[in-house]
Amino acid sequence: MANDPIHQFQIAKWIPIEIGGLDFSFTNSSAFMVATAVGAGAFLYLTTSSRGLVPGRLQSISEMSYEFVANMLRDAAGTQGMKFFPLVFSLFMFVLVANLFGMFPYFFTITSHLIVTFALALLVIGTVVVYGFMKHGFGFLKLFVPHGVPGVLVPLVVAIEVISFLSRPISLSVRLFANMLAGHITLKVFAGFVTSLSAFGAIGVAGAILPLVMTVALTGLEFLVAFLQAYVFAVLTCMYLNDAIHPGH
Amino acid sequence: MFVTPGYAQETAPAEGDAHGDAAHTEVAGGEHGSGVFPPFDPASYPSQLLWLAITFGLFYLFLKKVALPRIGSILEVRRDRIAQDLDQAARMKEEADAAIAAYEQELADARKRATAIAQEASAGAKSEAEAERKQVEAALEKRLQESETRIAAIKTSALKEVDTIAEDTAATIVQELLGGKVDKAAVAAAVRSARE
């Protein structure tokens, strides 16, 4: 069981709660959601509590993440997009911290569950759709009709655009989920090789060196992926929001 | 439809053992292993969605109301402060430039004044020297004239004596040569005519 690479994604109920026949138990997943929110929130709050004119290291991290996301959003969606800054920043920080927490051994990775990433993706797309219709009414549908397309091709292009729009929440959520899931399974499998090989005495220990090196390398890679996926999620959110703000391409 | 059986399957062992220890989770895993991969287990969806909504919602509100305005204000204050400092630096530079300009102006003035004073002094010295020279020249001229008058007086008196000497001499010569008395007036007339 110790080497079961799927075990780390298991949901364990800590406090069973049942409402209306549905299971709303407080699970290890819930606990790590709380940890993520509290951890990220406390970090941002505590590091900036001195309001230093000259920032310390930790305050610099908070400020850098703020400006990083702000520049990302401004580049993708313009200054009008800045009203979505709290949303994009929350998504970025939540996903980033959740991914990074997942890197601790024995920690649960909430972004390795499709339902979580899908819910976040739906939040993004829902915001895009609701804001798009609120701001532009039916003009928002111009999003599906790019400029300069010959009349004959319009139905085809519109069909393609609609499909690509509908696939956005899926690709957005599956990208994050699959990266985290695959990374953690790979790590677990290689780490499992180390323990099972070293059970075979001296030769096994010698043979375990390669998977050990791989595990170390993969751990580094996974930290990169953890950041990169949070970044990709935030960038795509910015681009989709840009569609809601400027639907006419 | 699919959620309910999954949920029922999940709760059955959980009732016996509230806190899922390793053994329990493995049992659950084993059960699921027959059908569902944990991330795709619909039984966990309501709980995950609820807790995600709660935690992310609170996180969003906290960032929107507290954390982001604070970081934003820190950055704003810093930007203002830097702009203010730059302004002050520019103002000070202007002041320094003005001071330098004033200093140079003063220096130029002083130089001009110094030149003027020097010129004045040299002109004064020159005129003084000129005056002195003139005075000396005048004194010399005066003495020259005095000398000339004296020389002229001496000359006149000398010439007068020449007449007397010539008359005496002539009278004496005539007396010696001719003997007897000599008419002084005739001799004087003769001398005068000889001299003319």
**Contact (CB<8Å) B78/A53:** yes
Say whether residue A20 is in contact with chain B using an 8 A CB cutoff. Answer: no
Q: Which residues are bridge partners to B188 per DSSP?
A: none
A40: chain B residues, CB-CB within 8 Å: 59
CB < 8 Å from A in window 15-54 of B: 18-20, 22, 25-26, 28-29, 32-33, 37-41, 43-54
pLDDT at residue A2, rounded to an integer = 57
Any domain includes A92: yes
Domain that includes residue A21, residue range: 7-245
A57 or B166, greater pLDDT: A57
B45: chain A residues, CB-CB within 8 Å: 115
Do the beta carbons of residue A36 and residue B54 sit within 8 Å? no
Residues B48-69: tens digit of each pLDDT: 899 999 999 999 999 999 999 9
CB < 8 Å from B in window 71-110 of A: 85-87, 89-90, 93-94, 110
CB < 8 Å from A in window 55-94 of B: 55-56, 58-60, 62-64, 66-68, 70-75, 77-78, 81
Comparing alpha-carbon positions, the chain A residue that sits nearest to B31 is A10
Sign of CA dihedral A23, A26, A27, A29: positive
ipTM at complex level: 0.89
pLDDT at residue A94, rounded to an integer = 95
Residues A102-151: tens digit of each pLDDT: 999 889 999 999 999 999 999 999 999 999 999 888 888 888 887 777 88
**Contact (CB<8Å) A33/B19:** no
Do the beta carbons of residue B37 and residue A14 sit within 8 Å? no
Any domain includes A204: yes
pLDDT at residue A228, rounded to an integer = 95
Residues B75-93: tens digit of each pLDDT: 999 999 999 999 999 999 9
Any domain includes A119: yes
Residues A9-50: tens digit of each pLDDT: 888 888 888 888 888 889 999 999 999 999 999 999 999 988
A62 or A22, greater pLDDT: A62
Any domain includes A174: yes
Task: Count Cβ neighbours within 10 Å for each residue of A177-189 and write b for 16 or more, e otherwise.
Answer: bebbbebbebbbe
Three-state DSSP at B19 gives coil
Average pLDDT in chain B: 81
Comparing alpha-carbon positions, the chain A residue that sits nearest to B43 is A23
Residue found by looking up tokens 């027959």 in the block: B34
Which residue, A126, A66, A130, is CA-closest to A92?
Answer: A66
Q: What is the 3-state secondary structure (H, E, C) of chain A?
A: CCCCCCHHHCCCEEECCEECCEECCEEHHHHHHHHHHHHHHHHHHHHCCCCCCCCCHHHHHHHHHHHHHHHHHHHHHCHHHHHHHHHHHHHHHHHHHHHHHHCCCCCCCHHHCHHHHHHHHHHHHHHHHHHHHHHHHHHHHHHHCCCCCCHHHHHHHHHHHHHHHHHHHHHHHHHHHHHHHHHHHHHHHHHHHHHHHHCCHHHHHHHCHHHHHHHHHHHHHHHHHHHHHHHHHHHHHHHHHHHHHCCCC
CB < 8 Å from B in window 171-210 of A: 177, 181
Say whether residue A68 is in contact with chain B using an 8 A CB cutoff. Answer: no
A186 or B36, greater pLDDT: A186
Q: Which residues are bridge partners to A27 per DSSP?
A: A13
Average pLDDT in chain A: 89
**Contact (CB<8Å) A37/B72:** no
Any domain includes A2: no
pLDDT at residue A247, rounded to an integer = 79
Any domain includes A156: yes
What's the total number of domains in chain A?
A: 1
**Contact (CB<8Å) A10/B38:** yes
pLDDT at residue A3, rounded to an integer = 67
For chains A and B, what is the number of CB pairs under 8 angstroms?
158
